[in-house]
Structure 1
């Protein structure tokens, strides 16, 4: 992490421990659910205290749902929105005060290429990520005079446990993989490391003139 101190927030203790082991001694962990604003506020306060302040945040929590809008229940819709959209809102709302104290800061929200492409049977997810892109742009406009930047990353299909679960649950793994690559030039999955490097760029000084942008990292997908 280029010498940065990193506070990890997750609702899974196992996931936190695994990530902390990968990062090493420069990391600390806070157990919290991004759907709970009170828990997020407490987590941000704890992280700020342990690190002596906060000057950047990356919101990466997310959930997927493969269901037509007609068949999506109210509870399923709310669950997707509560994690993909409300979660980043809660974190950003809690962390902005700390960024103001630092006199600078960066916000990076992990959205999705699906924010720009109407995908049948993926409506709740597409809607949540499109809203997250716009929320990030509004944050950038509101915070631009405070030396706080906000950008979003819009990945294509990244090989994560969530994607593996989708492939494993498919009746035809080969066909489903081909569907992923149908409109994607590189014809491969992206990696978590590739997205992490873009997030690192957006939190660092090399992107100092960049705010309100939505960065596509999708292997040449045709979303627009």
Structure 2
């Protein structure tokens, strides 16, 4: 299993990165890894307690924000840029999951999933653009899902639609913002986070016969946000233990 090596490479020294959904799961692991790799961080989440914990771990600037509140996102981006001296990277890790069949998931629930997983990511990118556009090698990583690539699990329609939309939003942004800003998505399978609590997992659906740990996904995000992936944009990287081909 892949492990982080805090401070060993300093691949993000001097970088200023805003991360949504930073209080837990993949977002928190990404914040921990990025701090160890030398980045200054602006951390967004609704969870005040989780933000306090990740701030203590990373030294990041925290903003309690619901990313469906466009005005709050705009304010957090402005304050984060002021605190860090700019923004040259964005990671959209905020997301919610919803189980339920089409007949059971009502329009309000559907809209909430789309608002958080898709529209919220759009809002974050849009409000960070004034600072990203000033940088020579800015990059954006959106955390989609294996369900956005291969939506073959029943009762996940709203989630799959939101994450598939995020993959295509990533591609559209990559085309629009090139060549100065790279935009990629990372698409995990099941990850050991609070988001999947109570979700039945079948390790046999994965070629590697297990689910992922958050830091394994964070390592992929590090590759995509850093100049190690300088010739990659518009990609959807499956980090799913082989689920999407198995």
Which of 131, 153, 166 is the matching residue for 2:198?
A: 166
> Where does residue 172 of structure 1 map in the other structure?
none
Q: Counterpart in 2 of 1:120?
A: 154
Root-mean-square deviation (CA), in Å? Answer: 1.3
Is 1:18 the counterpart of 2:53 in the alignment?
A: yes
Aligned to 2:238: 216
Pairs within 5 Å for 1:132-151: 132-145=166-179, 147-151=180-184
Please name the residue that 2:82 is paired with.
Answer: 49
Alignment size in residue pairs: 210
TM-score under structure 2 length normalisation: 0.82
Larger radius of gyration: 1
User: 11, 15, 33: which one pairs with 2:66?
Assistant: 33
Q: Note the C-alpha offset of 1:223.
A: 5.0
2:224 to 185, 190, 202: 202
TM-score (norm. length: structure 1): 0.90
Alpha-carbon offset, residue 92 of structure 1: 0.6
User: Which residue of 1 is the match for residue 206 of structure 2?
Assistant: 184
Contact between 1:113 and 1:223, CA under 8 Å: does it hold in 2?
Answer: no
Q: Deviations over 1:142-172 (max 9, x none)?
A: 0113x10000000000000121x224xxxxx
In structure 1, distance between residues paired with 2:148 and 2:133: 29
Q: State the secondary structure of the residue aligned to 1:53.
A: coil
**Preserved contact between residue 183 and residue 222 of structure 1 (Cα < 8 Å):** no
The question of 1:75 aligning with 2:130 is answered no
Question: Is there any run of 5+ residues in structure 1 with no aligned partner, and where?
Answer: 168-175
